Structure 1
């Protein structure tokens, strides 16, 4: 992957997280994968595992912010 292509992919990924548009974020990478920057954990075992890891991280973040998991993150 060229530097320009990688930069485009990363910018699309970050933009989808910042909206937040979590359902669209995985589509930016082209394969099922979840990386946790805070822990360095990488889940690359398939769609179900990546989705489960992503949802667990989202739930933990919302709990830390004092929001119910069913509520969207504040804009």
Structure 2
């Protein structure tokens, strides 16, 4: 008796695309950011970052994950 299994589809084998971290230059590399300040809040932590392209952004970090809450360019 021979068992047959279908080959996995690309959606089953590939990883989801990495989200872009910079809304201006589109980088997806954490190494391109410098931490400007970090503040603890009642909901988690707020971190201000500057990308190597000069863009500034604020991220709210909680147990649920990280979210860009403000961004701007110099």
Shared fold, TM over 0.5: no
Taking structure 1 as the reference length, the TM-score comes to: 0.24
The higher radius of gyration belongs to: 2
Whose helix fraction is larger, Structure 1's or Structure 2's? 1
